[in-house]
Amino acid sequence: MDLRGLGRDWSELGRGAKAFRVAHAAYSVVGLSTLGYIWACVATGRRDRWLAASVGFLTLEGGALVIGRGDCPFGPLQARLGDPDPLFALVLPPLAAKAAVPVLAVATIAGILGLVIRWPSGTTARRLGRSTERRD
C-alpha cells in the first residue's frame, strides 16, 4: 500500500468516486461492527445467528484480503473511479493506515480463537439431542 501523494479533496472526486467512497466507508463500519460483536460474544459467552453472520462476514473479508495480498480488493475499482486514496489513509495517520489491515487481521483471528476457546460446554451435544451429563 503506497501512502504517498494522498489528500484528494472531496470536491475533486467524480460522482462515482464519491458514491464508492461512501459505500466503502459504510462497508468498513459494518466490518468493524462485526469484529466488535465477535469480541462482545467472547466476553459474554453469547452465541447466536448474528455471531455466525459476523464470523462469516470476516472470514470472507479475510479471504478477499488474502487474494489481494493484503491490499483491499476494492482498491483497483476505487482507482478506476478516480479515487486512488486507500480508505484507511483518509482517516488515519500514514503509519497507522499501513498497520491497520495486519492489526485488524490479528484482532479477528484472536477473536475467533477466543470463541473457540470459550465455547459453552454441552452446546453441540444439546443441539444433537445428546445428554450433556457424564456417565462414568
Of 56, 57, 27, 43, give the one whose Cα is nearest residue 111.
43
Instruction: Please tell me the pTM assigned to this model.
Output: 0.76
Of 17, 116, 92, 104, give the one whose Cα is nearest residue 57.
104
pLDDT digits (tens, 9 = 90+) for 119-135: 776 555 445 444 445 44
* % residues pLDDT > 70 (the chain): 82
Q: Is residue 101 part of a domain?
A: yes
Q: Which domain holds residue 102?
A: 47-118
Q: Is residue 61 part of a domain?
A: yes
Q: How many structural domains are present in the chain?
A: 1
Q: Is residue 107 part of a domain?
A: yes
Q: Is residue 88 part of a domain?
A: yes
* % residues pLDDT > 90 (the chain): 43
Q: Is residue 90 part of a domain?
A: yes
Q: Is residue 18 part of a domain?
A: no
pLDDT digits (tens, 9 = 90+) for 43-82: 998 999 999 999 999 999 999 888 888 888 888 888 899 8
